[in-house]
Amino acid sequence: MKLRPVLSVVFLSALLILRLEAKRPDPYKVLGVDKNASQRDIQKAFHKLSLKYHPDKNKDKGAQAKFAEINNAYEILSDEEKRKNYDLYGDEKGSPGFDTGYPGDQGGYTYFTRGGPGQTQFTSGSGGWAHTGGQGGSKTFSFSFGGSGGPSSFGMSLDDIFSGFFGNKGHHGGFSGSSGFSGSSGFSGSSGFQSRARSPPKNIRAMNSQIFKKEIVNQRMTWLLLSYTPSLETSEYFEVIEEAANSLQGAIKVGRINCETESSFCKELGIQPRRAPRIFVYSYKASEKGSLEEYSDSVSRSLKAFCQDNLPRFSKRINLNHFDFFSGNVEKLPRVMLLSTKKDTPVIWRVLSGLYHKRFSFYDVEVHDVSDPTLKNLGVEALPAIVGWLSNGEKHVLKSGVYVKDLKSAIDDLSTLLDSLEKKNKKVASAQASRQQTDSMGKQQIPLLTTSNFDSLCGEKTPVCIIGAFRSSKSKEKLESILSLVSQKSLSRRQNLASSSSNSISYALVDASKQTSFLNAFQKSGFKSLDEFLIAYKPRREKFATFEGDMTLEEIERFISSVLNGDIQFTKTHRKPVVR
């Protein structure tokens, strides 16, 4: 065989290959970023597109090819050396290479994948050339020529063929013998792409059934949860939820559930991963009780927007002109109101409404003009502003001109303001309870146990709290009358006890039909079979005793005397009782 015709064919083939390479898509355009994009920008663009076109989520025609194209682009731009080579030479290997991957016909050339990784093939039209490659090492090209003497062929390594045309191996602009096809992906599963494994981040907490029930269920905090198994590729999912958590730090917490080790727990929740991990938010958007909402609408909404949409909604949006400013009114809970220019309830206020639910009544209102007479009457000088009212109607301007540096610090700062207001309210409620103990006739009054007065009546400073529980108005009147009389007798008797404290015993009433959670702390059944009964509660020791006999003056007085003299056996509570 003469050398000149062979070299001519080789040269033409090389030009054809270069023509094919020229049609490779620009990785910057594939990811939709400019050439000055930071690694963070590239990473974010890749996350968004890979979620959108992942074969397990997108069943449209061409989605899998697009997914492979996205991953190839990311592989180039996420690697510092490959990106530098691409920017300089238009190829990540520092030379025109063969790392393509176009399904279907490309100007008379066909690329397809056969078998496992590395088993790839190029073919041309009739009497053309072919490339067959495997894993590792340099690739070999074979060229066949037809003729009267029958087809003839020869084989050379990639380095041998091009060393005379584009310089020696390793020279800029030359071919590297180790070039190969790439099909790596950030995902795995049935798509058949190679995965990039990653250990779970330490800041994403591992969850089990016990932690879930204790720290997540109905605790008023929004959680972002990932269900997965170690066999599934989780790298991109971990990065996505980390990014959302960082952007909403202080508003949400993040956790992961390994459904291989916690299989029964995942089945119980109905969150088993299928062909890919799944993302959920424990949400209070729909009701006071939390529920799991799955994130699946990746095309139209970001995960951050999905989390924001599922934050608590316990603040009531109001019209400022129709708001009752509690002039002299006594309320069960202190109230707080946010005045801002926002058309919707701000994220910070929604988070706080969850954290302080049933401790405050939350309101928010849209206002724009600080000169509004109503705002002046409230004492508001700048927006945004927070105004609070104690349970007795006393007004406090908590903050004017609220400045938000970042979400977490803002939530911490406003939590301090609310804690301070709650502390003031407890003092007011305690004083109220003392005033209500005796009416104008000198008759002892027995207050109804509430969130506001619980600490003053049955807190740790009170050695014994006698609680009369009722389920009907008739039972309430009966218990109130008897306890009123007994309390006066026990007060006089109290001075003969070893304890000389005037606060050694207190009395209160509780509606058993409305405070089931409170009563369950003493007995799991919540005394459901009883219409009326007494509980002697020792807050410091978290112990109690009950009286379920005849509710007469003599029997109740005898029971309380036995409690004070230590003649009654007390039982440990299941948990600390809390009035809702």
Per residue in 114-154, pLDDT tens?
A: 344 344 343 443 333 333 344 343 333 333 333 333 433 33
Least confident window among 58-62, 307-311, 486-490, 575-579: 486-490
CB 531 within 8 A of CB 470: yes
The confidence score (pLDDT) of residue 406 equals 87
For 461, the token pair is 């400073």
Asked if 229 and 200 touch (Cβ cutoff 8 Å), the reply is no
Check pLDDT > 60 for residue 25: yes
pLDDT score recorded for residue 370 = 85
Domain 454-572: CATH architecture, name and number where available: 3-Layer(aba) Sandwich (3.40)
Say whether pLDDT at 529 is over 90.
Answer: no
Query: Quick check: helix, strand or coil at residue 295?
Result: strand
The residue ranking higher by pLDDT, 103 or 225, is: 225
Distance, CA of 352 to CA of 411 (rounded, Å):
7
Q: CA–CA separation, 271 vs 260, rounded Å?
A: 12
Q: Is the pLDDT of residue 371 over 70?
A: yes
Grade residue 440 by pLDDT with cuts at 50, 70 and 90.
very low
Confidence of residue 44 (pLDDT cuts 50, 70, 90): confident
CA distance 579 to 449: 8
Residue 298, pLDDT score: 52
Window from 251-265, 427-441, 471-485 with minimum mean pLDDT: 427-441
Instruction: State mean pLDDT over 174-186.
Output: 34
Cis (ω within 30 of 0) for the bond into 384? yes
Backbone torsions φ then ψ of 412, nearest 5 degrees: -65, -45
At what angle are helices 80-89 and 63-77 packed, to 10 degrees? 100
pLDDT at 501: 40
- List residues bridging with 293 in a β-sheet: 281
CA distances 379 to 239, 288, 387, 400, 474, Å, are: 46, 33, 9, 9, 46
Helices and strands in the chain: count of H runs, count of E runs: 17, 21
Helix residue ranges, H only, 57-154: 63-77, 80-89
3-class SS of residue 519: helix
The count of C-alpha atoms lying within 13 angstroms of the C-alpha of 472, restricted to the half-sphere facing its C-beta, is 6
Distance (Å, rounded) from C-alpha 347 to C-alpha 309? 9
The phi-psi region of residue 358 (left if phi > 0; otherwise alpha if psi is between -120 and 50; otherwise beta) is left
Can you tell me the mean pLDDT for 316-330? 68
Residue 565 binned pLDDT confidence (cut-offs 50, 70, 90): confident
Q: Quick one: CATH architecture of 326-432?
A: 3-Layer(aba) Sandwich (3.40)
Average pLDDT over residues 308-315: 93
User: What is the strand order of the sheet 252-258 is part of?
Assistant: 205-206, 252-258, 222-228, 278-283, 291-295
What per-residue confidence (pLDDT) applies to 59?
82
Conformation bin of residue 20: beta by default, left when phi > 0, alpha when psi is -120 to 50: alpha
Question: pLDDT tens-digit profile of 329-359?
Answer: 445 789 999 999 999 999 999 999 999 999 9
For strands 205-206 and 252-258, give the pairing.
Answer: parallel
What sign does the CA torsion over 52, 57, 59, 61 have?
positive
pLDDT at 169: 34
Three-state SS letters, 348-371: HHHHHHHHCECCEEEEEEECCCCC
> What is the rounded average pLDDT of the residues 36-62?
84
- Residue 33 binned pLDDT confidence (cut-offs 50, 70, 90): very high
pLDDT in the model for residue 125: 39
pLDDT digits (tens, 9 = 90+) for 465-521: 999 999 999 999 999 989 988 887 644 343 333 333 444 788 999 999 888 889 999
Longest CA pairwise span in the chain (Å) = 129
Task: Check pLDDT > 80 for residue 232.
Answer: yes
If you average pLDDT over residues 47-52, what whole number do you get?
Answer: 84
Q: How confident is the model at residue 309 (pLDDT cuts 50, 70, 90)?
A: very high
pLDDT digits (tens, 9 = 90+) for 165-174: 223 333 333 3
What is the arithmetic mean of pLDDT over 531-546? 93
Q: 188 or 208: which carries more pLDDT confidence?
A: 208
Tell me, yes or no, if the two domains 326-432 and 454-572 fold the same way. yes
Q: Given 3-state DSSP classes, what are the helix, strand and coil percentages for the chain, each rounded to the nearest 5?
A: 35, 20, 45
pLDDT at 493: 40
Considering the chain, what percentage of its residues have pLDDT values greater than 70?
71
Separation of alpha carbons 315 and 340, rounded Å: 14
* pLDDT (0 to 100) of residue 436: 57
3-class DSSP state of 553 = helix
What is the percentage of the chain residues whose pLDDT exceeds 90?
34
**Total count of residues recorded for the chain:** 580
Architecture of domain 205-309: 3-Layer(aba) Sandwich (3.40)
Instruction: Say how far apart CA 407 and CA 416 lie, in whole Å.
Output: 14
pLDDT category, 87, cuts 50, 70, 90? confident
pLDDT band at 364 (very low <50, low <70, confident <90, very high): very high
Question: Which region, left, alpha or beta, applies to residue 234 given φ > 0 means left and ψ of -120 to 50 means alpha?
Answer: alpha
Report the range out of 37-41, 59-63, 215-219 with the highest average pLDDT: 215-219
pLDDT at residue 181 greater than cutoff 50: no
Whole-number average pLDDT of the chain? 76
> Which has more confidence, 98 or 477?
477
Cα 62 to Cα 103: distance, rounded to the nearest angstrom: 10
Tokens of 419: 């804690």
- Can you give the residue ranges of every domain in the chain? 3-166, 205-309, 326-432, 454-572
- Kindly indicate the confidence band of residue 434, based on its pLDDT and cuts at 50, 70 and 90: low
Give the pLDDT of residue 4.
53
**In what order do the strands lie in the sheet containing 464-470?**
505-511, 464-470, 532-538, 543-547, 571-572
Architecture per CATH, 3-166: Orthogonal Bundle (1.10)
